[in-house]
Amino acid sequence: MTALVRMRLTAYLRSGRALPGLLGTLVVVSIIYGGGKSDAAEAYGFSAVALFPVIAWQAKLLLDTEPDVQRRLAVSAVGLRREVTAGLLAAGVVGLVTVALAMVLPWLVGGITGPGGIGAGLWAHAAALVGAVGLGALASRPITRSTLYGVAVLVTGSVLAIVLGLDNSVAPWLAPPLMATARHLAGHPDSATIPALTIQAALWAGVVGAIYARLRRTRG
């Protein structure tokens, strides 16, 4: 499975598809930290929300890199379960690099104050990452089969993740806990606890991952 993860990451880098995602990350980081110094925890909370669609888009780009027949060749070599898992892992690695960039760059340019908040920031980004990889996978070509539907799933999912997470949302449990995490890191009163948010993020990613695996089994 490591071999397939490596092959997909190589193709993603060599095909130039990594570049748009990297630019997207830099744009988001510039916007968040362009206005001066921020408290680390609060800034990382917003960064995790803003990076959610970027990481989801990168996951879709990575999973779309491989031609359909090559994906089938991979299935014949390693089996469907490992092929699906390797795709999600490769997308996770790309997401991790994005998170690392988004967390380190602000320090380099002096956009963040205080040493505190790094652990909370890591947690917020990890919660966003697992959900974003799930959404990107659902928007990928093996599931949506067309660019139009793929973009529609990606955009709708990203918007809903934010809208459903707003304060007083009617169904906050339907979305990954991006906004709730940002509120928690900003010290918002009455925000959910870290264990509750962690469980929600893990459950959301688990359910979306299961739906993706199920659709991959049934869609050939």
Select from 27, 73, 163, 174 the one that contacts other proteins (CB under 8 A).
73
Select from 20, 79, 110, 119 the one that contacts other proteins (CB under 8 A).
79
Coil/strand/helix, residue 55: helix
Write down the least CB distance from residue 17 to other proteins, Å. 9
Each as own residue / partner, the long-range contacts of residues 170-173 (CB below 8 Å, 24 or more positions apart, any chain) are: 173/200
Is residue 211 within the footprint of other proteins (CB under 8 A)?
Answer: no
Write down the least CB distance from residue 55 to other proteins, Å. 22
One-letter identity of residue 147 = T
Closest alpha carbon to 130 in 195, 44, 51, 27: 51
One-letter identity of residue 206 = G
DSSP string for residues in 19-48? HHHHHHHHHHHHHHHTTS-EEHHHHHHHHH
Half-sphere exposure of 212 (CA within 13 A, CB side): 28
Q: Which residues of the chain form beta strands (DSSP E)?
A: 38-39, 112-113
Is residue 119 within the footprint of other proteins (CB under 8 A)?
Answer: no
Is residue 219 within the footprint of other proteins (CB under 8 A)?
Answer: yes
Subset of residues 13 to 32 that bind other proteins, contact rule: CB under 8 A: 14-15
Q: Under a CB-based contact definition with an 8 Å cutoff, are residues 161 and 176 in contact?
A: yes
Write down the least CB distance from residue 73 to other proteins, Å. 6
d(CA 53, CA 58): 9
Q: Given the complex with other proteins, which of 79 and 110 has the nearer CB atom? A: 79
Is residue 166 within the footprint of other proteins (CB under 8 A)?
Answer: no
Write down the least CB distance from residue 80 to other proteins, Å. 7
Is residue 68 within the footprint of other proteins (CB under 8 A)?
Answer: yes
Count residues near other proteins (CB under 8 A).
26
Write down the least CB distance from residue 110 to other proteins, Å. 38
Instruction: Give me the residue label for tokens 């990350």.
Output: 25
Q: Given the complex with other proteins, which of 22 and 78 has the nearer CB atom? A: 78
d(CA 140, CA 150): 6
Binding mask 48-67 for other proteins (x = CB under 8 A): ------------------xx
Element (H, E) at 148: helix 147-163
Is residue 80 within the footprint of other proteins (CB under 8 A)?
Answer: yes
User: What are the residues binding other proteins (CB under 8 A)?
Assistant: 3-4, 6-7, 10-11, 14-15, 66-70, 72-80, 217-220
